[in-house]
Structure 1
């Protein structure tokens, strides 16, 4: 197991202009790392850079093959010592599986939540493998254990990324590249504004990611996601009912 040193890394964070990505960027910049945050919203990136001296930003649309190719070309040219990739960007729609717009939501969420992180890991792996120590961090969710019917496509894409993360970790087991998965519960960000329950701060999730990189934890299950993991293992039907009891009440 490779325990990464505390500083001196070059890090790419997708979705780094807000939420968990920005909180993590701040931590890593303060820890003496070179951090490049990318995202689609230039205004958010500008605000992030203004609030975090030393942060580097780049506008990129990782939901398209062209956007990913352009990002990888820039990173490999300007940051050839990149050694940490954080796949944090995510997209969540509240949806109804009977809805007419589901196809559009599926395409958008699969492109951002599943295709993008898998493709970026694949495209940047040659660069990561050249470094003495490196890591790929995939941010998923507690929904990988118990899906939410209210955000079914988000749950499905993150479950797919969970499976791909485990497979990639196995494939890279004899290399210097660690593959870390972080499974937070609801986090106090714009993406979770629909969630009325208790939410953790992005800073708490960022702290957990940093601790995982500096220690030997490759699966980081945080807060209520631990409860979901336990219920999925011991009482999956009960756990699913608890996860979706709000939707069941609305249907009556």
Structure 2
């Protein structure tokens, strides 16, 4: 992925990792379009970053995504990078009755959202000389946090989907990159996460990610150092993986 001169769409670009990526890539000389459901958050972000634009979209709604795709093709015909960052993360107690509403929302946003948006935008991306699709998964795609089972399952699914998408597009003009963040200081799970000392500071995560994108232009996965213990946990064998799973979940439950 080249680092300047792109027209980049970032879903969930009004806050957290999405906003951090949007601002960093904006400063490098890219045209940035952010999307999301919260107009106030989008407006605040573009007000702080002159030249950035925002377009509202409900990533849970298939019809909204189709309309959005048509709008992108008409208004931003040079769009060549899509960063699938929008996501929601909710804890679930699987022993409670009627617990599927949060699961269904996470599946719609985190899994179906990127799939539907790709379907809507692939014809436009195929027209560009070079294009990039970046999926944002998580270290939890590789070792689940048991209190957020559906979130972790959606991220594992997007990891698998990214591999298949990359293979199907291998002879095309489109590069597929997976960005797998560790636990980062954002408000994904509430305000407390933004100041949790166990989480990686957002500015540090963005800086390391941008440096990796600059130095590894052909990478298929972007992995900051903090996420590697999760990403490669299974490489150590089942016994060590099981022990790591227990210790990781024990530490994160407090």
Alpha-carbon offset, residue 212 of structure 1: 4.6
CA–CA distance in 2 between the matches of 1:90 and 1:55?
A: 21
> What is residue 225 of structure 1 aligned with on the other side?
227
The answer to whether the Cα contact below 8 Å between 2:57 and 2:65 also exists between their aligned partners in 1 is yes
CA–CA distance in 1 between the matches of 2:128 and 2:209?
A: 20
CA–CA distance in 2 between the matches of 1:213 and 1:227?
A: 20
The answer to whether the Cα contact below 8 Å between 1:23 and 1:203 also exists between their aligned partners in 2 is yes
Identify the structure with bigger relative contact order (alpha carbons < 8 Å, sequence gap 6+).
Answer: 1
> What is residue 154 of structure 1 aligned with on the other side?
151
The answer to whether the Cα contact below 8 Å between 1:136 and 1:177 also exists between their aligned partners in 2 is yes
What TM-score do you get using the length of structure 2 for normalisation?
0.91
Alpha-carbon offset, residue 101 of structure 1: 4.0
SS in 2 for 1:179: strand
> What is residue 106 of structure 1 aligned with on the other side?
103
- Between 37-46 and 184-193, report the one with greater CA deviation: 184-193
> Which stretches in structure 2 are left out of the alignment for 5+ residues?
none
Alpha-carbon offset, residue 211 of structure 1: 3.9
CA–CA distance in 1 between the matches of 2:169 and 2:96?
A: 40
Alpha-carbon offset, residue 116 of structure 1: 0.4
SS in 2 for 1:37: strand
- 1:222-251: CA deviation from partner (whole Å, max 9, x where unpaired): 23320112322212211211221147x78x
- 1:155-200: CA deviation from partner (whole Å, max 9, x where unpaired): 0011111100011011111111000001111111111446555222
> Which stretches in structure 1 are left out of the alignment for 5+ residues?
none
The number of equivalent residue pairs is: 246
> What is residue 216 of structure 1 aligned with on the other side?
218
Alpha-carbon offset, residue 72 of structure 1: 0.7
Task: Tell me how large the CA RMSD over aligned residues is.
Answer: 1.8
> What is residue 88 of structure 1 aligned with on the other side?
85
> What is residue 245 of structure 1 aligned with on the other side?
250
The answer to whether the Cα contact below 8 Å between 1:63 and 1:111 also exists between their aligned partners in 2 is yes
> What is residue 190 of structure 1 aligned with on the other side?
187
What TM-score do you get using the length of structure 1 for normalisation?
0.91
For 1:1-252, what aligned pairs fall within 5 Å after superposition? Answer: 4-193=1-190, 196=196, 198-214=198-214, 215-234=217-236, 235-246=240-251
